[in-house]
Each structure stands twice: as C-alpha cells, then as structure tokens.
Amino acid sequence: MHPKNFPISDFTYFLPEEKIAAAPLLQRDASKLLVYKNGYITESIYSHIANHLPEKSLLIFNNTKVIQARILFQKTTGGVIEIFCLEPYDAVNEYTSIMNKTKTVR
C-alpha cells in the first residue's frame, strides 16, 4: 500500500517506553533504517544505506545540535510568558531571544 493511502487511524497505536530510543547506539551505524522502495517498506541498518541509494546520489550530513530553545513561564495571572532563544550572545549563558514574539531580550 502506498503511504499516502494509509488511514490516519493507523498511526494511533500502543508504543511502550522501552521501545523508544532515549540515546543513540554506541555503534551508530547499527541503527535501524526504514527503507521505502517500489511501494514496499522494509527494514535495514544504517551501515547498508549505500545499498538503498541510486548511483551518484549525494548525501549531506548535518552535525548541528538541538538545544532546549523554548522556555515557558506561568504567570500568577494565569498567562504564559514564552522566551525563544535564537542564538548564543557573547557569553556562555546569554542568548539573543524573542520574548512573547514581540520583544528582543538579552
């Protein structure tokens, strides 16, 4: 079945916490790889990725890291203050930020 024909209800299922990877494998190239080819979905491992790519394919690797950039505070009035850290600003613990999406805070 083509993925666009999957009913959305197929994506509601029980997933035990122990089945969710909380940390990467020590041997990263042994990570599971989901492969979709010619209408079929199969499993492989990352070290075999070249077997699943067309000739002369170009892979671009991204080594950026995700940071906890969105900070939410609850006001005593019930409102929420949201601070979104955009990028480090000079010192280690200072960021250029957007506060409530209207003001820049440093």
Residues 74 and 45 in one domain: no
Q: What pLDDT, on the 0 to 100 scale, is given for residue 104?
A: 44
Would the pLDDT of 43 be above 90?
yes
HEC string for the chain: CCHHHCCHHHHCCCCCHHHCCCCCCCCHHHCEEEEEECCEEEEEEHHHHHHHCCCCCCCCCCCCCCCCCEEEEECCCCCEEEEEEEEECCCCCCEEEEECCCEEEC
User: Does residue 60 sit within a domain?
Assistant: no
Whether the full predicted model's pTM is greater than 0.75, yes or no, is: no
pLDDT digits (tens, 9 = 90+) for 14-30: 889 988 888 889 999 99
Number of domains in the chain: 2
Residues 9 and 42 in one domain: yes
Residue ranges making up the domain that contains 101: 70-105
Would the pLDDT of 106 be above 70?
no
